[in-house]
Amino acid sequence: MPELPEVQTVVDTLRPAAVGRAVARVDVHRPDVVVPASADLAAGTVGRTITGLDRRGKRIVFTLDDASRFYVHLGMTGRLTLDRPGDPLARHTHVVWHLVGEPRQVRFRDPRRFGGVWWLGADGSPEGTMGPEPLGLAAAELGRRLAGTTRAVKVALLDQAVVAGLGNIYVDESLHAAGIHPTTRASALSADQVAGLNRAVQRVLRRALRHGGSTLRDYRDANGDAGAFQKLHAVYDRAGQACRRCRTPVERIVLGGRSTHFCPRCQPAAAAPVSRP
DNA sequence: GTCCATGTTCTTTA
DNA sequence: CTAAAGAACATGGA
């Protein structure tokens, strides 16, 4: 479910209820969603106060008053929601945090379990090999990162080590907004194309943030509300439908194993695209 | 039954 | 050796 706009919206809707609250109790219904397996999430969080809630890439980072941290990744179908104790516990709810002085509890639910909870302690970092945040990124830096790979620009932008936070929806939407064909080799982009792409990424992400992200199926913010940006998608999940800019039918191909949507008129094929089957 | 899905990581291939 | 391509993970909906 989650790319940068969705994850940021979860953080924004969860923060007022969570930050400043002490953790009264943690129910771990499914211990194997906690990484590493040796971590004791309950022991590390009960009695601590949540002092920070932030997003880094697609990771939701909780900071506690003893400087220990953990992050939640929503994977494909994960949700972090605020629910009343009386609300029925949905299937695949793996962890519940009870807070002091906040009637709602924080529930982590993830049917496919591609997501999870990563315990960092006081010394660990949520960074990993993640690249920079796309909002505020300089075009020259994006250009340096794309120049280093011959992969299709679509595939390169999905790589969290290149830029953090983009996923299948926003890569397709950004490439459309920039007028760049998804099979174009990343290293073959001109400086002008990179600059345009950088602007397009930021414009698309900011618009999506204003609309609370995209809800295709699973995504909800912490209050359980769906996003609205899916109604404004130009190409994503719109194969065969009219491009919102030029009315040409949107095409769908597979790149990097992922559905890829583009407008053949707005995004003309490059002279030497990455070959595809 | 089939195919597909907002993601990441491991394995295989070139 | 490295980079790229493909498979795998687990569940549910169309």
Q: What is the pLDDT of residues A176-198, one digit of tens each?
A: 999 999 999 999 999 999 999 99
Portion of chain A with pLDDT greater than 90, in percent = 96
Distance from residue A131's CA to nucleotide C10's C1', rounded to whole Å: 28
- Asked if strand C comes closer than 7 Å to A233 Cβ, the answer is no
Protein-contacted bases of chain B (C-beta within 7 A):
4-9
pLDDT over 50 (residue A277): no
pLDDT for A121 equals 97
**Nucleic strand C within 7 A of Cβ A256:** yes
User: Ramachandran region of residue A155, left (φ > 0), alpha (ψ -120 to 50) or beta?
Assistant: alpha
In the chain, the amino acid numbered A62 is F
The tally of CA atoms less than 13 A away on the side-chain side of residue A91 is 2
Contact A46, A26 (CB under 8 A): yes
The whole-number Å distance from A96's CA to C8's C1' is 29
**Of A205, A62, A212, the residue nearest A137 (C-alpha):** A205
User: Does strand B come within 7 Å of the CB of A58?
Assistant: yes
Say which of A21, A55, A58, A79 is annotated catalytic: A58
Q: pLDDT of A132-177, one tens digit each?
A: 999 999 999 999 999 999 999 999 999 999 999 999 999 999 999 9
Q: In the numeric block, which tokens belong to residue A2?
A: 């989650």
CA neighbours closer than 13 Å in the CB half-sphere of residue A4: 26
Q: For strand B, list residues 28-57 of chain A whose Cβ lies within 7 Å of it.
A: 57
Residue at shortest CA–C1' distance from B6: A1
Is A2 noted as a catalytic residue in this protein? yes
**Catalytic pick among A132, A245, A258, A273:** A258
- C-alpha pair distances (Å), A70 with each of A97, A100, A112, A207, A247: 13, 19, 21, 29, 46
Q: Active-site residue A58, yes or no?
A: yes
Query: Any residues with CB less than 8 A from the CB of A49 and at least 6 apart, and which?
Result: A20, A21, A22, A23, A64, A65
Distance A176 CA to B1 C1' (A): 36
pLDDT tens sequence across A34-61: 999 999 999 999 999 999 999 999 999 9
Q: What is the pLDDT of residue A269?
A: 86
Instruction: Give, in Å, how far the C1' of C3 lies from the CA of A151.
Output: 9
Q: Name residues whose C-beta falls within 8 Å of residue A102's C-beta, 6 or more positions apart in sequence.
A: A17, A18, A21
DSSP for A222-240 reads TTS---SGGGG-SSTT-TT
| CB neighbourhood size of A100 (10 A) | 11
Note the CA–C1' distance, A183 to C3, in angstroms. 17
Structure confidence at residue A271 (pLDDT): 57
Q: Which helix (H) or strand (E) holds A81?
A: strand A79-83
State CA A196 to chain mean position distance: 22
pTM (predicted TM-score): 0.96
For tokens 């769908």, what's the residue?
A: A252
Mean pLDDT of the A234-263 span: 96
Q: Give the pLDDT mean for A242-251.
A: 96
Q: What does the block give as tokens for A106?
A: 């924080």
Residue A123, pLDDT above cutoff 60: yes
